[in-house]
Structure 1
């Protein structure tokens, strides 16, 4: 008996000593003990084993691909105490892939014109297809061409009766389109044809600024008749037949075919009162998740976004959890999504490549917001506002981080996305990330709730590639006090200035970043973004824009080949722009009050400086050569003799932008450093029309300020009381038609006016406050 007891105790102690390292292998068995010699076969079995172990645990996953039939869900049962964390990690030196897909064994046969066909026996979902590890494209019109900016190819006639007539049964196909103003995009599922031969569509909810799809930038996919080029595929669901057009001489019978089936791979599911704690995922490749664009429906307050609360990794109700050194590879939707209550979680050292939507999202609960509204034009009157400061609950992400992470090729499907998206969150740190090749912003802050974010040392470029009127860094500030009508909002903040920071209770800091945007602004603070401190940033191309908003201090920044774009400021905004180096004159639009201070800046020439001083700013600013140390290689520190230093500018480091780990730095693309140009800005030509001052709308700034979809039409600058248009047309209106004839520029306007010399009045179609208006104007006094 004593011998048996002694043997049992030895076995028990031996198991405990081995238990802190658990092993999983494709060659394992879930009836084994989970040791290195006898590993488990599945992550689920390892998860169950970890629950009964005290102390810190490492789950080593041996090399290979693990196909999940369901996501791994961590609940409060998996929560770990401080000092007793669990890490699910790849075994050193071995590649581990966790797949949300299934591999298919198919018997292929010839079909037509190089297309192959195979019967699928499993009842599975066909949303994407990977052949030999590479993602293939659904049959689409027009065919994909990476050289084309929007969608890799678009066709204006994609919904024409002539084109639809060519499709025998388009049910199950999709229409993808840009927003009419290029503010993100829309997706629609084709339900079939209607009685008139058009398409019956479901969708269009993927954007929170409902203006309809773009007339030109759109394409169709998952249409059998469009299967006509190498790399395309189509699945006939009713016949369970898969059609694929491979490269010549491809041995499909020996090519691995994988099809995603899951929306997520890892889920952390806790709550504020009972969070999941101290779990990390490390060194794994996560891939093969479903596209989720038809579930992108939830509006993010009054931003332009709707969102799907999900991703390859979902965290909700988690604390001190981390995704570390992982590759999130071509996932169908968002890569990592922190939803509602999250604290002290981190994404670090990761690579996020070619995601269908965003990289890392931090999104709180709208019920935590005081007086929330959910569309640009919605507004709650002041007497109904909850005027208390800050959030109502703690159900939002706070004190979380994304750092040292490389993100590129995002937004493969959805276009209203970002590398990092922040909404209804507080104290989020975005540090040392490299983000490029994205259709919209690299980093986006959807509204002021609740501020405190620290955005630092990021390298963000090749942004706004498939959209418009946006920035490499973009923010909106459509908080509870904000109103889309300038006059109404001006009155609100004049009477209730405490509301300005009632939502953005903590200052948002943007420092030591490098931004480049070739289709918008490098830094774009739009629609009331307030309570920002912006310093030590390098803007390489698009300049820096501040629209509406309050309490923004912009200092010690360097703006290359561009300048400062102040748009539509309010009286007593409290804005400060000082100690900056600009290389063009300012580009103000509708500025009557220049805030708290605009001074001590370095201008490129005396003409630009004189223009600013004429407007009442920059009394102590100077013009001259900044004397950059090595601008050809992107070193914009200034020499000791630079006049910028005399104004208060201080040098900051130019070698700390972006990812820090050697492995990520080795594969990251590098930003294109621009050549410094010395082109002086030509004065804008201002003309007269019926006593009003006008000009051609021909700049990105004017397009943004007016909300126009493109740079066309005639912009109204001023309507004095002496003009017969006074009281009918307002500054910032855009004339697009006169007497039903299109007005593209001033020449069109005056030519049409000359043809109306015997008429007493005419119709004008103009664009005002994001909508079209038709008015009647007199042509004679």
Structure 2
């Protein structure tokens, strides 16, 4: 019993109480309540209502004491309904703790339902069983391993997008082979690869096209990607091992097991609940002092068809929930838990929350995001929700800061291992911040994600401390993004660049009304092979970025204000300044870059761009960096990832300061043992990019050749001709940054298409279709 008491003492210390008695007794500080409060036999089936009832009774009997919900038996507890903890259950000065009795016990709280089925052989290696359930389900687990719902194309673990995608997934030829596709799903990337869409099939048209509902899962509507799509839950596509299909009208489950599977002995679990535990309070009456520790959470239902709430003017829509939901809490902790193959978000910190702590957690194979801190739009002054929305200056609320306190503040994600999130939804992140303030994201290891590792959706309200994280293998399925990504489409921001130029020049005080406090990004290691290591996109403002290692994708600052970037190491890449404002007050100094800068649409260079180290003299820019140097930085041990510089390095002469290279990522020995290692780059001096640049009627034009050019223009692909500069008296109403998409009726994918169309068609080519301010328009 001594070991139990020591373990409880550790847990109770988090909530300010002392555990001095063994399980099953009332001590001076703690009441222990067995979670398995009935004579359950394995598998243990927990009644959330009964647990709530006992909590209420014990809270009334012992106000102010800590109530410890202990799981006395190892195993899986299948919760019948979401266990909701309200302020009434956590009132007074007491606390609630959920935990196993013994520190080594393996206890799972499941959002699924165990079912007993009798399999019988059907045909082509497929088995079937009668299963009478009052609801449909989206995930099936055989022997606690998630199986694959019948799909086309078949699951391929090596495929980059969706584990298999195909342009013909929605072809009429394939659709006409399906007898009853209603209830099936279509999953597709966004046309611009900015996340994904999901649709439920509701019928088939006479021309063998599908009737669909959905497609609201992205806040920038552009339609489905032409290639990266797949269908699932289609009976006729059940044709390979591990696939399954549930025919609910006929109460029949079909499954094709992998060779060697003994179905007669196999456990079968189906997904049921979207949330296992929800802490539900409010700003006026919060849930306080709840700790959830050392538990595994599994089998929750996917939420991709409920992901419909837009997050201001970012690209996101969200489902405001997770396997664990914190909504209206103070001083609540989720510690040392595992989130394993859940269908949606793992942890969602919603609306008013103060001092929430998520630490030591192992989060993997989640359908949605890992950890989300998301406030309520009613906390934002003059909120807008879709990218193209705007409002006149006279209607903008000019009071600084939040309108209400309905947002997470002073919360922390510390020492969490997060990987393979976004297995279903693609506009996701390992850690997501939106409408929040002073969030600390520290010592997390995040990798193998379809989009950003860490994402900040807008400037509201800043003050975040993002440090000592190790983030890599990111943007694996999407595009135009970064290992760290942010937007800043705050109340001052306007989708028309000319309007925004005028607005911010006339009223610069608008810029920091939402981004109140500086966000610090420091001592991190980032790697992105399909975008930028650090990507500050549209309008991101008020950042201090220092002492980071960028392993591959470089660092991008798009239009925004008050960004200071210093003492960073950018390997095999460089600084990407994109379309800055005249008075951005941006600073880039004392950094090591390993290729020439890659500016796009830059007319103004901020307050200071100088005292940086370049690989060679030819990389030094003429218009900036009057005191910068070139040369070999002399890294201590780059093969081992030690990018400190040796004595005598020219980096020391530009006032670069060494910083530790062994403090990235998770810190607990258990998680460090599990975590993958970031792939280190093979350093090589890169030649400057040769381009297709040429002149046309005196204008400088080129192909869209880089991700930076595509991002700067907001294009969904690399098709079009980029306008670099336009001379006076040019015959077309074009400007630098425009992209020509059509000349007359001829599609323009590259410079040769434009030149050929103009020479061949003459006057017929005089009407140009261009892309400006992220929308098509016609000029002549």
Is the structural similarity TM-score above 0.5? yes
Aligned length: 747
CA displacement 1:372-420 (0-9 Å, x = unmatched): 1110010111011110000011111000011100000000110000011
SS in 2 for 1:752: helix
CA displacement 1:331-372 (0-9 Å, x = unmatched): 110111111000001100001111000011111110111001
CA displacement 1:704-723 (0-9 Å, x = unmatched): 00111122321111111143
For residues 380 and 113 of structure 2, what CA distance do their matches in structure 1 show?
41
Structure 1 partner of 2:754: 749
1:288 to 288, 299, 303: 299
Contact 2:35/2:51 (<8 A) preserved: no
Matched, 1:247 2:258: yes
Give runs of aligned pairs for residues 473-492 of structure 1, distance below 5 A. Answer: 473-492=484-503
Structure 2 partner of 1:384: 395
1:262 to 236, 253, 273: 273
SS in 1 for 2:509: helix
Structure 1 partner of 2:741: 736
1:762 to 766, 771, 774: 766
For residues 49 and 244 of structure 1, what CA distance do their matches in structure 2 show?
45
For residues 524 and 50 of structure 1, what CA distance do their matches in structure 2 show?
51
SS in 2 for 1:463: coil
For residues 284 and 197 of structure 1, what CA distance do their matches in structure 2 show?
48
CA displacement 1:49-96 (0-9 Å, x = unmatched): 5423343343331311101001111101222555x4332112221100
For residues 744 and 572 of structure 2, what CA distance do their matches in structure 1 show?
41
SS in 1 for 2:147: strand
1:42 deviates by: 6.8
For residues 167 and 765 of structure 2, what CA distance do their matches in structure 1 show?
36
Contact 1:25/1:41 (<8 A) preserved: no
For residues 711 and 682 of structure 1, what CA distance do their matches in structure 2 show?
16
Structure 1 partner of 2:719: 712
Structure 2 partner of 1:276: 287
Structure 2 partner of 1:680: 687
2:70 to 60, 71, 74: 60
For residues 358 and 498 of structure 2, what CA distance do their matches in structure 1 show?
43
Contact 2:217/2:316 (<8 A) preserved: yes
Contact 2:307/2:319 (<8 A) preserved: yes
Contact 2:26/2:32 (<8 A) preserved: no
1:732 deviates by: 1.4
For residues 196 and 488 of structure 1, what CA distance do their matches in structure 2 show?
46
For residues 25 and 397 of structure 2, what CA distance do their matches in structure 1 show?
58
Contact 1:691/1:722 (<8 A) preserved: no
Contact 1:24/1:41 (<8 A) preserved: no
1:107 deviates by: 0.6
1:103 to 105, 114, 117: 114
Structure 1 partner of 2:562: 551
Structure 1 partner of 2:651: 644
For residues 760 and 177 of structure 1, what CA distance do their matches in structure 2 show?
37
For residues 280 and 77 of structure 1, what CA distance do their matches in structure 2 show?
16
Matched, 1:690 2:694: no
For residues 149 and 253 of structure 1, what CA distance do their matches in structure 2 show?
35
2:627 to 607, 612, 620: 620
CA displacement 1:159-199 (0-9 Å, x = unmatched): 22111111111000000000010000000000111243321
CA gap of 1:761–1:739, structure 2 versus 1, over 3 A, is: closer
SS in 2 for 1:78: coil
Structure 1 partner of 2:10: none
Structure 1 partner of 2:661: 654
Contact 1:27/1:41 (<8 A) preserved: no
For residues 142 and 715 of structure 1, what CA distance do their matches in structure 2 show?
36
For residues 26 and 171 of structure 2, what CA distance do their matches in structure 1 show?
69
Matched, 1:47 2:80: no
Contact 2:25/2:32 (<8 A) preserved: no
For residues 413 and 46 of structure 1, what CA distance do their matches in structure 2 show?
37
CA displacement 1:602-637 (0-9 Å, x = unmatched): 01110011xx1x2x2111110011111011111111
Contact 1:443/1:472 (<8 A) preserved: yes
Contact 1:698/1:712 (<8 A) preserved: no
Structure 1 portions without partners, runs of 5+: 1-13, 31-39, 777-781
Structure 2 partner of 1:297: 308
Contact 2:29/2:65 (<8 A) preserved: no
Contact 1:29/1:41 (<8 A) preserved: no
For residues 127 and 109 of structure 1, what CA distance do their matches in structure 2 show?
22
Structure 2 portions without partners, runs of 5+: 1-23, 41-47
1:44 deviates by: 4.2
Stretch of structure 1 that moved more, 568-577 or 152-161? 152-161
SS in 2 for 1:751: helix
For residues 598 and 54 of structure 2, what CA distance do their matches in structure 1 show?
60
CA gap of 1:697–1:500, structure 2 versus 1, over 3 A, is: same
Structure 2 partner of 1:88: 98
Contact 1:24/1:42 (<8 A) preserved: no
Structure 2 partner of 1:22: 32
CA gap of 1:387–1:741, structure 2 versus 1, over 3 A, is: same
For residues 764 and 76 of structure 2, what CA distance do their matches in structure 1 show?
77
2:221 to 188, 210, 218: 210
Contact 1:26/1:64 (<8 A) preserved: no
CA gap of 1:58–1:17, structure 2 versus 1, over 3 A, is: same
Contact 1:80/1:279 (<8 A) preserved: no
Structure 1 partner of 2:637: 630
For residues 324 and 32 of structure 2, what CA distance do their matches in structure 1 show?
22
